Structure 1
Amino acid sequence: MKDKQARAATGEAPVRNTRNTGPGRLLIAVYGVFAISATARAGYQILTKFSEAPLAYLLSAFAALVYVVATVSLAKAGTTWFKVSVAAVLVELLGVLVVGTLSILDSVQFPHETVWSLFGRGYGFIPLLLPILGLVWLYRRRPSAARATAAKAAQ
């Protein structure tokens, strides 16, 4: 809402959301699949066997939350949603790197795997690749680049 008001006040034309077109749709779909699967997995694990590996299951729940936020923010238009997307994808990358490293160095704390354990090995390393692809996509579709492209097209 603030983005629309700011553009109206300055006379700028609205910028179309280019993050959810083309390959961006596939990226959002993959994030959506991970959001659903990580949420279901974490929910089941927490409800049925939390005492076996509480840290791993809480990290799975956190990963699920990150995937949900990333999915929604990537699909939405506006500068604020862009910033939320960048933050979510950076948190995801940091989580994969930290949890992946800890799951190798301190396997006692991770008797059961999380989405991010061993850098996402249980998921074909997609959890490691996804935030990298997401950051590249976000960089290429950043709001200033979209405005520059729109300005060139208008000339």
Structure 2
Amino acid sequence: MTDTERTPAAATGRKQPFDLGTGPGRVLVWFYGVFTVAAASRSIVQMILDFGKAPLAYVLSAVAALVYGFITYSLVRGGERARRTALVCCAAELAGVLIVGTWTLADPSAFADATVWSDFGRDYLFIPVILPVTGMIWLRRARTA
């Protein structure tokens, strides 16, 4: 092992890479992983069994699953580029939750069945609206660490 490898990053003036999936990030990885599986499972079953009933709702749930999966992957991958990408995805997720949540309250007849983001995620204990906000706070903190 060379002296450079033994010297802490702070002593050499290099910033140590921030691991997005540690500490509170680990909880986010867990929640996003669970929501990826939940949203994907829900949308796949609904699309297979009764796609004609509510295609918009089922496709939106599939989109939510993709967004959750991508954020999970970015948090696990780590690094600055993944952090920025996850931050953009969390903002898009929050926009989706707010748009779909407002839409389902303003015009309930537009959705023949609920999506993951319906009523701001009421069926999921409002976690779909809390999760992206929490994610963005963590990802912004990770930038300065």
Scaled to the shorter chain, the TM-score interval is 0.7 to 0.9
| Structure 1 runs, 4 residues or longer, greater than 6 Å off | none
CA distance in 1, matches of 2:51, 2:103: 19
Deviation, 1:16, is 2.5
CA distance in 1, matches of 2:13, 2:118: 45
CA distance in 2, matches of 1:14, 1:39: 37
SS at match of 2:51: helix
What is residue 6 of structure 1 aligned with on the other side? none
Instruction: Verify: 1:108 aligned to 2:106, yes or no.
Output: no
CA distance in 2, matches of 1:116, 1:81: 24
Instruction: Verify: 1:133 aligned to 2:105, yes or no.
Output: no
What is residue 73 of structure 2 aligned with on the other side? 72
How large is the Cα RMSD of the aligned pairs?
Answer: 1.5
What is residue 61 of structure 1 aligned with on the other side? 62
Letter in 1 for 2:91: L
CA distance in 2, matches of 1:77, 1:119: 28
Letter in 2 for 1:76: R
In the TM superposition, what whole-angstrom CA distance separates every residue of 1:121-145 from its partner, at most 9, and x where no partner exists? 0000000100110111111111xx1
TM-score (norm 1): 0.82
In the TM superposition, what whole-angstrom CA distance separates every residue of 1:79-104 from its partner, at most 9, and x where no partner exists? 21111101110111000000000001
Letter in 2 for 1:80: R
Q: Report if the CA contact (8 A) 2:19-2:79 is conserved.
A: no
Identity %: 45
In the TM superposition, what whole-angstrom CA distance separates every residue of 1:47-104 from its partner, at most 9, and x where no partner exists? 1111000100010010000000010001112221111101110111000000000001
For structure 1, the 5+ residue unaligned runs are 1-10, 147-155
What is residue 15 of structure 1 aligned with on the other side? 16
What is residue 83 of structure 2 aligned with on the other side? 82
For structure 2, the 5+ residue unaligned runs are 1-11
The number of residue pairs the alignment matches comes to 134
CA distance in 1, matches of 2:109, 2:68: 26
